[in-house]
Amino acid sequence: MRRSVRVLVRALVGAVVFLGVSSCGPTDLGGGSFNKANPPGMFTDQTLVEYLQGGFDEAQACSGLTGGTFDDLTVVMMEPQFPCRWYESGCSGEFVTPNTIKLGSPYVWKHEVIHYLLYVNAGDADSSHSSELFWDCV
């Protein structure tokens, strides 16, 4: 996993989603004996990072916007519909300047990447969604 990509996970009240990690019974994530506790927190396997990197690369190639890198992003995993400033009903994804994407659904990943790329390349994330890239590249 690239260390400069920080995937943060927000705790959910009443439900916890483990992406890529599942088990029946005790599991030692460290690969050692079951006598020591695993570190606290939530974990995912490399497939999530690879999915996000691939989507970023596709959005960047389609858009032709070369400024900005996947490694410069902070990705915050959110519940599927979370409070945001844009919609009263909430968002399933949100780009927050200068380099944060809040992600509640993987289906909006490339859309949020386009906001980031527009911001890095043009200084405007296009919150009005007037760019054709939102239609052509997601």
Walk me through the domains of the chain, giving residue ranges and CATH numbers. Answer: 51-138 (3.30.2010)
Residues in the chain where the model's pLDDT stays below 70: 1-34
102 vs 26, 28, 55, 87, 109, CA distance in Å? 31, 30, 15, 14, 9
Length of the chain: 138
Over the stretch 56-95, which tens digit does the pLDDT of each residue have? Answer: 999 999 999 999 999 999 999 999 999 998 888 999 999 9
Retrieve residue 104's tokens: 């509640």
Model confidence, pTM: 0.73
